[in-house]
Amino acid sequence: MSDNYYEILELTKDSSQEEIEKSYKKLALRYHPDRNPGDSESASKFIKIQQAYDTLKDPVKRRTYDNPAANMPFFSRMNFHEFEDLNIKLVCNLSFNEAVTGTKKLITIHKKSPCSGCDAEGYKRFVACTACNGRGSTTTQFAGMIRFETPCNQCRGIGKIGIEKCNTCNGAKYKVGEETKIDVAIPPGVINGIVLSVNGAGHVGKEGLAGNILVQCLVTEDKKYTLKDSDIYFNFEVDFSTMLFGGKIEIPTFENDLIELEIPEKTQSLTNFRIKGRGMPNLTNKMQRGDLVAVAIARIPADKEFLPELKKVLQYHGI
């Protein structure tokens, strides 16, 4: 899948906001991990679709994406790759329970900001760029009629070349701030590998623009649970006598409450009991959630429990 946001959403640059919404919903539904369990390629496509939509749905972000240089003063333009460097990329490890219910994670970052000694120029002495004669742009003529003016590749549009590094930042342009701790909200229903964005919380650039904190969520596998689409399956033991005679048992949920289940008499082992709306939440639609499916497993009595259990079985059969 292309990294072009419009191509990811199967759109063109002229697409309307309504078309963006419509295409996103269609593709998110097609590639959602709940519909493609175990398919890493679909999960990767879903993440790209989400990132593309997060940018193109916002008119301001879309304009910046379409023409990043046009939103900055000409003689201090910052190319798009430099803006991308303002992002802070982190990995967040989550338990399966945290992925289902959502949580908050306290993270530590060191933000960088423009060097005050050189105003993020990196140098304190410059000479005019010879490639563009200090103009910051070069002109290309097509067919003798059409003229295209583009930022100079040699000086990156600033019209000058540095010759003496700044003593404060040693040419780095930025200074690293003190340690900062922030709470990152992890919404319910995240899937392994998905990237969440805390917009505007990243490094600060020369023009005052701030990058984002990009948090990649890694969900630890839990052998107790199995995720199938948006349903969560888990095994629970039931006394043999309860399986035979029937009865009531309590099932714990991810919300730390108990759901009472009625076990019919003569229930077979591996029978599924479905608890509606207590499974994996839908990350893109808060109104949707899978089910929690309890798989009944007959518990073999321990030695000291065997005779009482056997007595119940014999009494049931009138022996």
Whether pLDDT at 10 is above 50: yes
216 found inside a domain = no
87 found inside a domain = no
**Domain end call among 66, 93, 111:** 66
75 found inside a domain = no
Cβ atoms 169, 122 nearer than 8 A: yes
Residue-wise pLDDT tens digits, 51-72: 888 888 887 778 777 765 444 4
Query: For residue 294, what is the domain's CATH number?
Result: 2.60.260.20
Q: Whole-angstrom Cα distance, residue 124 to residue 79?
A: 21
Residue-wise pLDDT tens digits, 227-250: 998 999 999 999 888 888 889 999
Cα-flanking dihedrals φ and ψ of residue 63, to 5°?
Answer: -65, -40
* Per-residue model confidence (pLDDT) at position 99: 94
Tell me the residue length of the chain. 319
184 found inside a domain = no
Buried (b) or exposed (e) across 141-158, using 16+ Cβ within 10 A?
Answer: eeeeeeeeeebbeebbbb
* Per-residue model confidence (pLDDT) at position 304: 59
309 found inside a domain = yes
Q: Whole-angstrom Cα distance, residue 118 to residue 124?
A: 6
Q: Which domain holds residue 277?
A: 225-316
Whether pLDDT at 93 is above 90: yes
Nearest alpha carbon to residue 235 among 244, 243, 224: 224
CB neighbour list of residue 104: distance below 8 Å, 6 or more residues apart = 183, 184, 185, 186
- Higher pLDDT among residues 40 and 183, named by residue: 183
Percent of the chain predicted with pLDDT > 90: 28
Residue 123 token pair: 């140098």
* Per-residue model confidence (pLDDT) at position 185: 92
Q: Whole-angstrom Cα distance, residue 92 to residue 49?
A: 21
169 found inside a domain = no
* Per-residue model confidence (pLDDT) at position 82: 46
254 found inside a domain = yes
Query: For residue 42, what is the domain's CATH number?
Result: 1.10.287.110
* Angle at CA of residue 18, ends 4 and 6, nearest 5°: 5
CB neighbour list of residue 274: distance below 8 Å, 6 or more residues apart = 231, 291, 292, 293, 294
CB neighbour list of residue 179: distance below 8 Å, 6 or more residues apart = 108, 109, 110
Total count of domains within the chain: 2
12 found inside a domain = yes
Lowest mean pLDDT among 19-28, 83-92, 245-254: 83-92
Residue-wise pLDDT tens digits, 144-164: 555 667 788 788 778 888 888
Q: What residue has token string 């107790």?
A: 224
Nearest alpha carbon to residue 215 among 229, 228, 231, 199: 199
